[in-house]
Amino acid sequence: MRQLKSMAGFSLLEVLISVVILSVGLLALAGFNGNLYKSVRYSNDRAKAMASAQVLIDKARSEDLSALTSGTDPGSCADSTPHRTWTVSSVGTLSNAKNLAIYVCWTDANSTKQEMSIATQVGVTSVAAAATPAPTAGSTPAPTAASCTTPAYVAGTAYSNGAKAKYLGRHYSCKVSGWCSSGAAAAWYAPGQGTNWQDAWTDLGECV
């Protein structure tokens, strides 16, 4: 009796499911690419608008302030290229500066009106510096030296860690009590004088 062999392969249902999944993926990719293109186009349009405004600002800064006047470009906001309208006004009572307000508009690839505004000042604004009076003789008392109340160093005295002592016009803080208090070893640890005084004391500066 002949045995039936199972046939390997894909059913029609599996093929249809694969086609649906692939179609959804392609649609999502197409939508992403479309949004990416729109974002790039929008950024490019705004960069062009910003550049056109900057050209106007640079031109205004290079001209005589008295010659600056308000104006507008030929065309309208319905154009795909940036359309500029600018207004020049005074800065209070200053004669060497002007306010410059720039309005830029255009219509993008989706027939949507886009716009941006920039405001700046051109010219030089100076502020008079207030004169500082020169000091007069006797107006400021001369500084006086601060008195030092640190007790004088005496070899053999029991000094604890952190205790202070004055010696030869300077005062010191004890770091190692045993060395600071040793009378027999004063030749080594007397503050500022002993051979190894820095091992026992910290110099705190002048003390008069």
The overall pTM is greater than 0.85: no
**What's the rounded Cα separation, in Å, for the pair 119 and 155?**
78
Predicted confidence (pLDDT) at residue 55 exceeds the cutoff of 50: yes
| pLDDT of amino acid 95 | 82
**What's the rounded Cα separation, in Å, for the pair 124 and 121?**
9
Please give the CATH architecture assigned to the domain spanning 146-208: Ribbon (2.10)
Which amino acid does the sequence have at 120? T
Exposure letters 86-110 (e unless 16+ CB within 10 A, then b):
bebeeeeeeeebbebebbbbbbeee
| pLDDT of amino acid 128 | 43
pLDDT range class, residue 177, cuts 50, 70, 90: confident
Q: Average pLDDT of 69-94?
A: 92
Closest CA to 79 of 109, 43, 44, 101: 109
Token pair, residue 70, equals 């308000």
Length reported for the chain: 208
Specify which residues 90 forms β-bridges with: 98
